[in-house]
């Protein structure tokens, strides 16, 4: 809540000031990342082998509820381009004061994004059900600097034990290409997302099975036959159980 000064003018709280600065700061940081000026110390390690096949989950809009429960940022522009031959990693240390400030600011931006956000309905129960048939991991297009806050969020809602790894974007690739890059790198055949355009892209690029969380904005796109729609993660578990029986 804002405070009032003796002159009658309202002064914004620290949280309100930070929230107001978030879009501008994030835009500046994205420019720095795309030009390779912000880098991470090293690439993310691969998930360890497990007797159950890996299945990857997007985070926002699938596990974590979007702000105000409305997912208004989903893409609808369709792409089918291949991955570039060279993947530029943003993996160098911040060696100057300016870079350290940007890294700290970006970390603050990511923290603000998840402040006060609840899980999707029955997300934990659904993940537990899926884990009977697969080994869940998270692949998100969020910056690699969001990894720690995602991990903390999962611990808060008692879901961290059901995910064997979290992979956030430590490349200069757009989200759709980063996810394809990681799915191929980890040899994953099944992915869960809420973005229709990304789901379409992954399906067209050879990922065998896609699960799309239905939102109004991702309706009506020309999805291939290997895209299954769902509203509750437990539906994915039922699909996997039927696949096990028929395989």
Q: Tell me what pLDDT residue 107 has.
A: 52
Structural domains present in the chain: 3-246 (3.40.50.1000)
pLDDT at 239 over 90: yes
Confidence at 118, pLDDT banded by 50, 70, 90: very high
Q: Tell me what pLDDT residue 81 has.
A: 97
Q: What is the pLDDT of residues 78-96, one digit of tens each?
A: 999 999 999 988 855 555 5
- Between 94 and 115, whose confidence is greater? 115
Edge to edge, the sheet with strand 135-143 lists 166-169, 135-143, 54-57, 190-193, 209-213, 227-230
Q: What is the pLDDT of residues 195-211, one digit of tens each?
A: 999 999 999 999 999 99
pLDDT at 218 over 70: yes
Instruction: Answer yes or no: pTM beyond 0.85.
Output: no
Q: Tell me what pLDDT residue 39 has.
A: 41
- Between 17 and 231, whose confidence is greater? 231
Go through 82-97 and write b for each residue having 16 or more CB atoms within 10 A of its CB, e for each that does not: eeeeeeebbbeebeee
Give the whole-angstrom CA distance, residue 226 versus residue 204: 9
Strand-pair partners of 191 = 56, 210
**Nearest C-alpha neighbor of 14 from the set 149, 112, 98, 113:** 112
pLDDT at 192 over 80: yes
pLDDT at 168 over 80: yes
pLDDT at 109 over 50: yes
């Amino acid at each position: 809540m804002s405070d009032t000064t003796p002159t009658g003018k309202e002064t914004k709280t620290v949280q309100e000031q930070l929230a107001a600065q978030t879009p501008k700061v994030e835009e500046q940081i994205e420019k720095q990342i795309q030009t390779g000026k912000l880098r991470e110390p090293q690439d993310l390690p691969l998930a360890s082998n497990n007797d159950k096949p890996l299945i990857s989950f997007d985070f926002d809009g699938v596990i974590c509820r979007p702000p105000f429960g409305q997912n208004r940022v989903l893409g609808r522009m369709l792409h089918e381009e291949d991955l570039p031959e060279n993947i530029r990693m943003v993996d160098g240390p911040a060696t100057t004061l300016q870079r350290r400030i940007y890294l700290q600011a970006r970390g603050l931006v990511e923290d603000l994004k998840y402040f006060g956000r609840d899980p999707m309905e029955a997300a934990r129960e659904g993940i537990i059900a899926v884990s009977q048939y697969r080994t869940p991991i998270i692949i998100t297009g969020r910056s690699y600097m969001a990894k720690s806050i995602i991990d903390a969020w999962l611990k808060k809602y008692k879901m961290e034990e059901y995910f064997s790894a979290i992979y956030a974007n430590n490349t200069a690739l757009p989200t759709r290409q980063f996810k394809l890059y990681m799915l191929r790198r980890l040899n994953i055949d099944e992915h869960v997302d809420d973005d229709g355009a990304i789901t379409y892209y992954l399906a067209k690029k050879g990922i065998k099975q896609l699960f799309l969380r239905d939102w109004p904005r991702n309706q009506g796109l020309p999805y291939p036959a290997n895209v299954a729609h769902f509203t509750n993660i437990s539906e994915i578990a039922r699909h996997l159980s039927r696949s096990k029986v028929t395989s």
